[in-house]
Each structure stands twice: as C-alpha cells, then as structure tokens.
Amino acid sequence: MTFIETRAAFTVRAAFDTAVKMRYPVLAVGKAGLGKTVALNWIASQSGAAYCEVAQHTKAIRPMFLMLHDAYGVKRDSKHTYDLAKDCMNFLGARYGPTRPLLVDEYQNFTPTVLRELLHLQERCGFALLLAGNTHRLAGTRRDTHAVDQIESRIGMRFEIGQPTREDCVRIGAEHNVEGADAYEAIATYGQNTSLRALCHLLQNCAADTSGLGSIRLPRIETTLRGMSCGGDVLRLLHERRNAAADDLRGPA
C-alpha cells in the first residue's frame, strides 16, 4: 500500500506523538489490513525512528535483543543473551545521547515473557516506545498471566484503530484513478466492510485487468468483485442500496 493519510495513519501518528511526549510505552491496535504497517514505516522514514517487526524467528528473548541491534544499526559482537542485553542497555540508554524512538510492529507475536523484558528495558532506558499490532492475544498468554499483569501496568495509553471511513476509501480510489460517483460508492461500500488492504487488492486487480490504462469504472469493479471470494456479498449490498435509493427518488406510490 502507498502511504495515504487515512484514519489509521492519523491514529498511529497520534499514538507515536504521545509515546514521544510521555516517554512511556504506548499501544496502537486494530484489525489486520487497516494500514498500520504502512503508517509505521512512513513515520519511521519521516522521524528517523527505528522500526522492527516481530516475526516467528524474533519472538524469543535473545532474537528480540538481536532485532533491536538490527533496528538501530548497531554491530553485535556478543553471542550470549546476557551480553546482548547489556549492549542494548548501553545504546538505548542516555549514555550516548538521546535515543531514537522505537516502533515495534506485530507486537502480539511476542510471548508475555519477552514483551515484559522489552518493557523492562524501556523502563530502565526511557526511550519512546510504540507497540502496534492486531487485536489478538499475545502468544502464549494462557501460560503466563503474571507477566500479562505486569505488561498492562506498564502501558501508558492505548489507541484503537477503527474501520476505514468513507473518506479513506475515496482517497485510495483517487490514488488508483477510480472514476464515477457510482464507482466510488462501490469501493466505499467494499472498503468499509472489509479493510484497506482488501480495497487496494481489489483496485490493483481492476488495474491489472485494464493493463493499467485508463480509469477504473463501476463495470470493471463489479466484474472483478464477481471473481473474488467475498465479492458476491458486496455486490448484493450495492444492489440493495441502489434499489433503496431508487425507491426514495420515486417517492410514495
């Protein structure tokens, strides 16, 4: 997804600004596909913040420390977890001047024990920390309720990222050269009932069908929707709305 100033982007930016101001961990969460990762990467490029994404191979304690080294571009000579932790304390603390904020994407892939270690590091060093991810439970939550309690006590503020707005869908449609009020009505209906990622995927498929030439109009959108798994439901919703609008125009019998 190309960066577009959507509701999700504004929410993530507000969460980032709060983290920088408070110097306390801030959480930004929402469903998958709302544009969190795009917004985080844009903020990192604009602000100079360090960005990292928690994957399967980085969700244990030692890989977490290695991930922080990579995010800040720090050479890692140590092999042992204890030494890596000491290194992180050094370059994340105030010893070498102000530390760049840290943006952690897909934080829910951490186990509570590892996330608690990261929050302990932040508490010791005082760098700005924004955790972003999906509204899923942390990995292994059932096994460590004590760690979860400690995590919740360390989160300064929580920001909820809501569903795409009509304006979000219109902005994305303009970026993809959508044309016609009926076409914008269709993509707004689709985007608000799915996600921004799904909407971009729909419009990219529409553009591919036309070889990227010309604008994207309603017939092309409907044709593409018919070939998509959830397209039938959206088409039915569109037809219902058109019929309702037509009835309103005709007025009472």
Number of domains into which the chain is organized: 2
Q: Which residues constitute the domain of residue 18?
A: 7-161
Q: Per the domain annotation, does 249 fall within a domain?
A: no
Select from 129, 161, 193 the last residue of a domain.
161
With a cut of 80, say whether residue 92 has pLDDT above it. yes
- Asked whether the predicted pLDDT for residue 120 surpasses 80, the reply is yes
Same domain, 56 and 128: yes
Mark whether 69 and 22 lie in a shared domain.
Answer: yes
Same domain (yes/no): 47, 126:
yes
Do residues 54 and 116 share a domain? yes
Listed residues 161, 196, 226: the one ending a domain: 161
Instruction: Examine the domain organization and report whether 73 and 97 are in the same domain.
Output: yes
Residue 246 is predicted with a pLDDT of 57
* pLDDT at residue number 228: 76
Q: Residue 22 domain-assigned?
A: yes
Mean pLDDT (the chain, rounded): 85
pLDDT of residue 250: 61
Q: Calculate mean pLDDT across residues 221-239.
A: 78
Contact yes or no for 69/121 (Cβ under 8 A): no
Q: Is 160 left (phi over 0), alpha (psi -120 to 50) or beta?
A: beta
- 15 versus 243: which is more confidently predicted? 15
pLDDT at 46: 93
| 100 found inside a domain | yes
Q: Residue 29 forms beta bridges with which residues? A: 133, 160
pLDDT at 212 over 90: no
When pLDDT is averaged across residues 3-19 and rounded to a whole number, the result is: 93
Q: Are residues 147 and 176 in the same domain?
A: no
Tell me which of 213 and 180 has the higher pLDDT: 180
Contacts of 192 (CB under 8 A, 6+ apart): 163, 164, 165, 166, 169
Quick one: 145 and 23 in the same domain? yes
Beta-bridge partners for 1:
none
Beta-carbon count within 10 A of 198 CB: 18
Cβ partners under 8 Å of residue 154, min gap 6: 24, 25, 119, 122, 123
Pairing of strands 26-30, 50-53: unpaired
pLDDT tens per residue, range 40-88 = 999 999 999 999 999 888 778 999 999 999 999 988 777 789 999 998 9
pLDDT of residue 135: 73
For residue 251, being part of any structural domain is answered with no
